[in-house]
């Protein structure tokens, strides 16, 4: 099996938790190492890995084929551009870029250089969203009328990572968690005609938006995409109402919690959810009203990297394309403009 020699641009939480375990598990990847600025940690978990002293060292290593750009959002454009111009494939953490113009430029460079470019929107492979997607694709609710996708947590204290709490073009909950639920919505429903958004700062001492509420306008559908850090008790994260019925699903995927706890993704029953987290389907089926729970689909972020492998080796489309990333940035930009101007923003 051909292997793809891969390097990370950071071995902080995202590198250690979301990328390295899956790259190490998938037989099609060889994790060569990571750029490490001060702390040299990667070799403690991966003894054969290299601690690269700089981005230039990674770009100059001709054996590296794929680079994971998992640094702060405001560095994504600069670093990804350098990676692509060096002729290497790139996986970029969310949010893809700061602006849609940056996303468009990166996509154009990747096409020109004939390398693969993908955004790491791993929440498409969460167990809860995969269940929602299955119910939607089966048409169990009839024509949809109203949908809510929410990413709510109870994190009232400020993050200890300064770049997440310091005002900058890439900071704020909208680009962080908001990029996930926006991508999920667009992956099911496509681009909306227009966007209206309300952004707020609600945590004590916060200087960046930590609450967002967006309304995506489609011809016969409204999709509400929202997020907040001050929800101690959370409503279902996914609410779908159609002409025939409704589907409600709590956010129940355990992958992040298990990874943070130090578990490896090859563990038995990796994608299971806690008991009682099944979605509720209340709809009309064959002329009869039914109300029942829906078994949760299996989620696994390894499937994202399988998609990356197939894309690089066999030329299939990336699991999340550069165009997907552009569309998400266009919606987020429209949301920022809507909040600033207090009006609905058309998307052309």
Given pLDDT bands bounded at 50, 70 and 90, which one contains residue 3?
A: very high
Sign of the CA dihedral 337, 341, 344, 346?
Answer: negative
Q: How many alpha carbons lie under 13 Å from residue 267 in its C-beta half-sphere?
A: 14
What is the predicted pLDDT for the residue at 20? Answer: 98
What is the predicted pLDDT for the residue at 232? Answer: 94
Which residue shows structure tokens 């994971």? 68
Question: Of residues 271 and 341, which shows the higher confidence score?
Answer: 341
pTM of the model: 0.95
What is the predicted pLDDT for the residue at 167? Answer: 87
Encode pLDDT of 53-103 as tens digits.
999 999 999 999 999 999 999 999 999 999 999 999 999 999 999 999 999
> What is the rounded distance in angstroms from the CA atom of residue 213 to the CA atom of residue 338?
11
Is the model's pLDDT at 142 over the cut of 90?
A: yes
What is the predicted pLDDT for the residue at 168? Answer: 85
What is the predicted pLDDT for the residue at 128? Answer: 97
The DSSP code for 169 is: T
What is the predicted pLDDT for the residue at 123? Answer: 97
Is the model's pLDDT at 118 over the cut of 90?
A: yes
Report CA Rg, the chain. 20
**Class of the CATH-defined domain 123-299+331-346:** alpha beta
What is the predicted pLDDT for the residue at 321? Answer: 98
Q: Exposed, middle or buried: residue 274 (CB in 10 Å: 0-12, 13-18, 19+)?
A: exposed
Q: Is the peptide bond before 95 cis (omega within 30 degrees of 0)?
A: yes
Mean pLDDT of 153-166: 86
Mean pLDDT of 151-179: 89
Domains 4-121+304-318 and 123-299+331-346 share a fold: no
pLDDT over 70 for what percent of the chain?
A: 100
What is the predicted pLDDT for the residue at 38? Answer: 83
Average pLDDT, the chain: 95
Given pLDDT bands bounded at 50, 70 and 90, which one contains residue 327?
A: very high
Is the model's pLDDT at 1 over the cut of 90?
A: no
| Superfamily of segment(s) 4-121+304-318 | NAD(P)-binding Rossmann-like Domain (3.40.50.720)
> What is the rounded distance in angstroms from the CA atom of residue 90 to the CA atom of residue 319?
13
Is the model's pLDDT at 326 over the cut of 80?
A: yes
- Strands of the sheet containing 29-35, edge to edge, are 50-52, 29-35, 4-8, 66-69, 89-93, 117-120
Q: Where are the domains of the chain?
A: 4-121+304-318, 123-299+331-346
What is the predicted pLDDT for the residue at 193? Answer: 98
What is the predicted pLDDT for the residue at 160? Answer: 85
What is the predicted pLDDT for the residue at 164? Answer: 82
């Amino acid at each position: 099996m051909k292997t793809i020699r891969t390097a990370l641009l950071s071995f902080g939480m995202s590198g250690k938790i979301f990328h390295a375990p899956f790259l190490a598990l998938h037989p099609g990847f060889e994790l060569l190492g990571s750029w490490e600025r001060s702390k040299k940690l990667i070799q403690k978990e991966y003894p054969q890995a290299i601690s690269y002293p700089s981005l230039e060292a990674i770009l100059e290593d001709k054996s590296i084929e794929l680079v994971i750009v998992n640094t702060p959002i405001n560095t994504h454009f600069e670093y990804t551009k350098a990676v692509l111009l060096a002729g290497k494939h790139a996986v970029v953490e969310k949010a893809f870029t700061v602006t849609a113009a940056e996303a468009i430029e990166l996509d154009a460079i990747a096409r020109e250089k004939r390398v693969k470019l993908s955004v790491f929107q791993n929440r498409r492979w969460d167990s809860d969203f995969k269940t929602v997607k299955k119910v939607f694709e089966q048409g169990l609710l009839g024509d949809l009328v109203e949908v809510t996708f929410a990413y709510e947590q109870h994190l009232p204290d400020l993050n200890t990572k300064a770049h997440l709490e310091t005002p900058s073009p890439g900071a704020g909950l909208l680009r962080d968690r908001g990029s996930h639920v926006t991508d999920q919505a667009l992956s099911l429903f496509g681009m909306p005609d227009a966007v209206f958004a309300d952004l707020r700062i609600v945590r004590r001492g916060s200087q960046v938006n930590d609450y967002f509420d967006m309304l995506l306008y489609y011809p016969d559908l409204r999709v509400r995409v929202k997020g907040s850090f001050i929800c101690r008790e959370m409503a279902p994260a996914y609410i779908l109402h159609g002409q025939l019925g409704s589907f409600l699903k709590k956010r129940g995927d355990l992958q992040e919690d298990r990874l943070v706890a130090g578990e490896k993704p090859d563990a038995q029953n990796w994608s299971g959810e806690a008991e009682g987290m099944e979605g509720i389907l209340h709809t009309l089926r064959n002329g009869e009203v039914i109300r029942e729970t829906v078994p949760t689909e299996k989620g696994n972020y390894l499937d994202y990297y399988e998609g990356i492998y197939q894309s690089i080796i066999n030329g299939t489309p990336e699991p999340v394309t550069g165009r997907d990333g552009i569309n998400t940035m266009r919606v987020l930009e429209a949301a920022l403009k809507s909040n600033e101007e207090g009006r609905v923003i058309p998307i052309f």
